[in-house]
Amino acid sequence: MSVQPAEPLPPAPASSQPALEVRGVTKRFGALVVLQGIDLALRQGEVLGLVGDNGAGKSTLVKILSGFHQQDAGDVLVAGKRVRFHSVAAARAHGIETVYQDLALIPQLPVYQNLFLGHEVTRLGPLRILDKSAMRQLSRRYLDEIKVHVPSVDAEAEQLSGGQRQAVAVARAVRAAPKILLLDEPLAAMGARESRLIIELVKDLASSGRVSIIVIDHNYAHLFELCDRINVMQGGRITIDQPVHETSLEQLTELMVSSFRRQLGEA
Amino acid sequence: MQSGAPTRSAAPADNPPGRRPGAWWLARRVLRLFLYQRELTPVVITVGLFTYFTIKAGSTFTDSLSLSSAAGYAGPIGAIAVGEVLLLVLAEIDLSAGQVFLFAPWVEYWLHNLGLPLVVAILLALVVVCGVGAINGLITVRLNVPSFVTTLAMNFILFGLVLIYSNQTQATPIPLSASNGSPSFASQFMGSWLWAEILWVLTITILGAIMLTQTRFGARIVATGGNLVGAAEAGVPVRRVKVWCFVLCSFLAGLVGIVDAVKYGSLDPGNFGVDYILYAVGACVIGGTALTGGRGTVVGAFIGAILIGILEDGLTLIGVSTNDFYVWVGVVIIFAMALNVQFDRLIARSRGT
């Protein structure tokens, strides 16, 4: 694995090749064409917002990038190299971590086991005995560090509030020290205070310049605060690609409406 | 998404007015203990039953022959229940495990009659039952047939195979059984000693409990059963986990099936596995496992089996008709399940303090 020398240069260094590139990716489920040729580039250290209607294909794209689904055609490039992920583990091996819309926490497992799900600390070699005390301790320290408050790391995920669960899910992805972080509606159904927590978490991460991030969200105010660039998805395509600092909320809405009209006209 | 909304009223305050804080605190601690140590409730009931029968039936109940017959009853159920718990935690079920329990010694018997050495026959029989489990698992995860149906069908298939190849005649004596003279160590070890079977099951229970609660594989079972999509997204190989658990369940049932056959010394083709599996699922439920996935206890399943064994043996000894036994088993199962479901709800409601 080629590790890019980390350049802590906030805001995003527009240099070199993209951290992640998508070229002409298509995906269909049976007769339903969900993605019809996606082109997208995520630059090194950049936060890219992805917006679009329900059913525009955002989540499908994320699931392909995270190795959960496989594309029918097209290429995915990580740091300039063509890759094809056959599993979540394969995407992870390339430094891609994901927080899914449907929250991959296990209700019956304690917070610390959820934090380490898929990255468990084990003892006794092939017996894979869980090192629970180590995971507890690491979880406590880590959650403190990123200011995520849970009643106890021993609490089952089921016992957390929606926001706390979301925070733990984000924390799990971040803890794995990814190079690329995919966030599928990380702020869905969260209170203002909890949203703030996640936003600060993502901003901190972005400002380190080491992680490139794609965020899906419906809240434009959040996106404008978080992102360097916004891509709009409509009908399985990316129709608008705009840097945030050159765009206002009104402009973006206008662009979306006109592009949507164009699409309707085509159809 | 379930629950999640932070609208729920706060947990009751630690010191509500009008109650002595000490007693209230104690009551909460005790409730918490029972909530998280699911095995505790069936243990209390089992100890209660044991005491009751000891008082009622006196020394006839506590003498070793009677206890071993209770254990003999609990052994097969326990062995099947321990494997079954893993599948119940996965929100799957194996209805064929009871028939596998009966099938394994037949395979061993046939292979031995073909001239294979006993050890080889036993090992091959175990491989065959693992194969049965693998088929159960693969059909379930690959063809998306509900495991209830896959394993129900497998139960009939195995039953039919036994009837066909046994010509519907009993097999006796079977290899290793203590039919002539003093049994060898191997025979004692494999089941003819009074306590061999229950010790096998106890060992399996301990290993199973460690596996489910202390290993990465156990965490993967809970994750897969608790949130299938979430576990898959987090990189848990959910299908592989399921198939392995079907294999394990078959293996354990088959292993103790062979031990049980050596103990009784004969095989009856007319025995139907469903009789066993229903008790085993009952034992799991009594032990504190709901059938909703994500939760379950191996130790509880074993205790559930013991409870059923004590109930059967005790009721017989105090002169109650065996017919009453079935009523009592039914009552205990419903009571236990209602408790499990309520306990799960209480856990979900409490804000993890």
User: How far apart (Å, rounded) are the C-alpha atoms in residues A227 and A245?
Assistant: 9
In the CATH scheme, what architecture does the domain A20-266 have?
A: 3-Layer(aba) Sandwich (3.40)
B216 in contact with A at a CB cutoff of 8 Å? yes
Instruction: Tell me if A168 sits within 8 A of A129, measured CB to CB.
Output: no
Most confident listed range (A45-54, A83-92, A241-250, B200-209) = B200-209
Selected residue of B1, B36, B212, B233 to mutate for chain A interface (largest A Cβ count, 10 A): B233
Euclidean distance between the first and the last CA atom of chain B, given in angstroms as a whole number: 23
Q: Is it the case that residue A2 has pLDDT exceeding 60?
A: no
Please identify among residues 232-251 of chain B the ones whose CB lies closer than 8 Å to any CB of chain A.
Answer: 232-236
Q: Is it the case that residue B13 has pLDDT exceeding 80?
A: no
Burial of B170 (C-beta count, 10 Å sphere; 0-12/13-18/19+): exposed
pLDDT for res A207:
86
DSSP SS3 for A208: coil
- ipTM score: 0.80
- pLDDT tens readout for residues B30-79: 888 887 777 888 888 888 888 888 888 877 777 777 777 778 888 889 99
Domain boundaries, chain A: 20-266
Nearest residue in chain A measured CA to CA from B8: A161
pLDDT for res B60:
78
Which chain B residues have a beta carbon less than 8 Å from that of A109?
219, 222-223, 226
Q: Is it the case that residue B17 has pLDDT exceeding 60?
A: no
Instruction: Tell me if A214 sits within 8 A of A183, measured CB to CB.
Output: yes
DSSP SS3 for A98: strand
Nearest residue in chain A measured CA to CA from B89: A108
Please provide the DSSP assignment of B170-232 as one string.
-B-SPTT-S-SSSPPHHHIIIIISTTHHHHHHHHHHHHHHHHHHHBHHHHHHHHHHH-HHHHH
CA atoms within 13 A on the CB side of A256: 19
Name A6's Cβ contacts closer than 8 Å, sequence gap at least 6. A209, A210
Which residues face A75 on adjacent strands?
A23
The Cα of A189 is separated from the nearest Cα of chain B by a number of Å equal to 8
pLDDT for res A178:
84
Instruction: Tell me if B243 sits within 8 A of B122, measured CB to CB.
Output: no
Higher pLDDT, B34 or B4: B34
CA distances from B214 to A111, B217, B350 (A): 16, 9, 24
Q: Is it the case that residue B245 has pLDDT exceeding 70?
A: yes
- pLDDT tens readout for residues A139-159: 999 998 888 888 899 999 988
pTM listed for this prediction: 0.83
CA distances from A103 to A90, A98, A162, A222, B229 (A): 20, 10, 10, 20, 9
Q: What is the set of domains in chain B, with CATH numbers?
A: 39-349 (1.10.3470)
Long-range contacts of A258-263 (CB under 8 A, 24+ apart): A259/A232, A259/A234, A260/A234, A263/A234, A263/A235, A263/A239
Nearest residue in chain A measured CA to CA from B210: A129
CA distances from A201 to A118, A146, A168 (A): 22, 7, 12
B348 in contact with A at a CB cutoff of 8 Å? yes
